Amino acid sequence: MKTVGVAILGLGVVGSGTYKILRDHREFYRKTQGVDLSVESVLEINKQRALDLGIEESKISDNIAEVVSNPNVDIVVEVIGGVEPAKSFVLAALHSGKSVVTSNKELFCKYWYELEAAARRTNAGLYYEASCVGGVPIIRTLIDGLQANVVQSLTGIINGTTNYILTRMSREGSDYKEVLKDAQKLGYAEKDPTADVEGYDAAYKLSILSSLAFHKRVPLENVYREGITNISVKDIEYGKELGYVLKLLAIGKNDGKNSIEVRVHPAFIRKDHPLASVNDSFNAVYLVGDSVGDVMLYGRGAGDFPTGSAIVSDVIYAATHSEVKYATFKNTEEPDKNTKFVTDFRSRYFIRFTAKDKAGVLAKVAGVFAKYNISIIDLIQKGEGIDEIPIILITHETNEFSLRRAIEKIAEIDDVVSVDSTIRVEG
Ligand code: HSE
């Protein structure tokens, strides 16, 4: 039986999970996959951490050159995260002709073209299932399961931290800051939560997933991004009254020609939408293909064993396939000039504003919407006997830019005290 040597760069949560899966399933993979996967080297500065996992001292290194020049290593797993030193380490492995398996979404979405070019030069494999949605096999589904389709849209809850925070805000009626603090204590959110709560993590993943789904490179700069830091629990409560659930959505749309729309932002969806019941730190991706119709994948988007599961599935693939597959599109630094990235996208909107409780104020607001050709579906006025009242309205589908102009004009109306939130309504 063929023995394939694996090196793991970094024994953090995911690296340790990956090591344990490989160690504990070695015999299982020998039987089911016909390959003997042997961890031959680990790159880890904290030697004790590696020893505690039962790794032999001779296999622990703090020198990347030593790891990638080890003739017993065929596949290098990068689970360090961030751009550097991960990028230099991955390039060193590819230059040495080793196949690379990575969970690094930031590195991959920013430097995919450079990594792929390096891999092609030495005919090495480059695998990244774990970079998007952890244990959910979304990348293999796009490449090997749905390749018969023109994928028309992809809508996902692809960040577990924000889904956990929004779920708790909705369940408990607690505000954002309170839930974030608790999420940090419980280990669901990082000490510096920016990447998750400002939507960067979801944008990295959407850049990768939409490039694969639509067969065109979708650079990170073209992904519109808004996080959840300005979400008020009041919006979640009012949305609930109207039959909506608030989620941080990653949305990709493809017109099948040259127009692509990619955006990450909080959005209301109807409570009976398939994504509405994806709660806590769970992730899901809902896809529509022209032949298959609707497909949804659901599962854990992070964690030692879920992400380790995706990594080991790539290791097995790399160990059992000699032919290497790369991106189906021209993977260059500059994206295809013919691709148009839509910015004036269409959506419905939930708008909450505070106004003086005076005759005529609603007529003035309605007048502005009429001027911009925006039609209102629903309107609720809250509170009685108070001078300043909250008003919530939902619009029909309209263009983003018209909506923004209308909101500016509404804020200028004398009796409007403040425009408090504008949230898109999808699905
Ligand atoms: N921080 C990410 C999340 C997990 O909350 O989903 C890894 O991408």
- Parse the chain into domains and list their residue ranges: 2-131, 138-300, 346-426
Helix (H, G, I), strand (E, B) or coil at 66: helix
With both helix axes pointing from N to C terminus, report the angle between 13-24 and 304-320 in degrees, rounded to the nearest 10: 60
CA 19–ligand 1 middle distance (angstroms): 20
| Beta bridge pairs of residue 270 | 244
Contact assessment for residue 295 and residue 287, using Cβ atoms and an 8 Å cutoff: yes
How many Cβ atoms sit within 10 Å of the Cβ of residue 117? 15
Q: Which of 13, 131, 161, 200 to mutate to test the pocket of ligand 1 (most atoms within 8 A of CB)?
A: 161
Distance CA 326, CA 67 (A): 25
Q: What is the phi/psi pair of residue 412, to 5°?
A: -85, -10
330 is catalytic: no
Give 59-93 pLDDT, tens digit per residue.
999 999 999 999 999 999 999 999 999 999 999 99
CA 302–ligand 1 middle distance (angstroms): 6
Report the pocket of ligand 1 as residue ranges, CB < 6 Å: 159-161, 196, 201, 301-302
CATH homologous superfamily for the domain 138-300: Dihydrodipicolinate Reductase; domain 2 (3.30.360.10)
Ligand 1: residue whose CA is nearest its atom 7: 302
Distance CA 21, CA 303 (A): 13
CA 284–ligand 1 middle distance (angstroms): 13
Contact assessment for residue 51 and residue 13, using Cβ atoms and an 8 Å cutoff: no
| pLDDT value of residue 386 | 78
Atom of ligand 1 nearest to the CA of 161: 5
> What is the pLDDT confidence band of residue 257, given thresholds at 50, 70 and 90?
confident
User: What is the token pair recorded at 181?
Assistant: 């603090």
Contact assessment for residue 286 and residue 292, using Cβ atoms and an 8 Å cutoff: no
How high is the mean pLDDT of the chain?
96
Residue 335 has pLDDT above 90, yes or no: no
| Beta bridge pairs of residue 78 | 9, 102
Distance CA 357, CA 378 (A): 19
User: What is the token pair recorded at 197?
Assistant: 């709560």
Nearest 10 degrees: CA dihedral of 223, 224, 229, 234? -130
CA 343–ligand 1 middle distance (angstroms): 26
CA 249–ligand 1 middle distance (angstroms): 14
Contact assessment for residue 333 and residue 113, using Cβ atoms and an 8 Å cutoff: yes
Q: What is the phi/psi pair of residue 127, to 5°?
A: -125, 140
Give 136-195 pLDDT, tens digit per residue.
999 999 999 999 999 999 999 999 999 999 999 999 999 999 999 999 999 999 999 999
| pLDDT value of residue 273 | 97
Distance CA 400, CA 271 (A): 23
Distance CA 423, CA 418 (A): 15
Give 265-322 pLDDT, tens digit per residue.
999 999 999 999 999 999 999 999 999 999 999 999 999 999 999 999 999 999 999 9
Q: Which of 196, 305, 309 to mutate to test the pocket of ligand 1 (most atoms within 8 A of CB)?
A: 196
**Which one from 98, 205, 216, 247 is the annotated catalytic residue?**
205
Ligand 1: residue whose CA is nearest its atom 4: 302
The architecture (CATH level 2) of 2-131 comes to 3-Layer(aba) Sandwich (3.40)
| Interval 223-240 mean pLDDT | 97
Give 362-398 pLDDT, tens digit per residue.
999 999 999 999 999 988 888 767 789 999 999 999 9
Helix (H, G, I), strand (E, B) or coil at 407: helix
| pLDDT value of residue 413 | 96
> What is 346-426's CATH number, 3.30.360.10, 3.30.200.20, 3.30.70.260, 3.20.20.80?
3.30.70.260
Q: What are the distances in angstroms from CA 133 to CA 96, 128, 218, 349, 392?
A: 29, 11, 18, 28, 34
Distance CA 415, CA 427 (A): 33
CA 161–ligand 1 middle distance (angstroms): 6
Atom of ligand 1 nearest to the CA of 158: 6
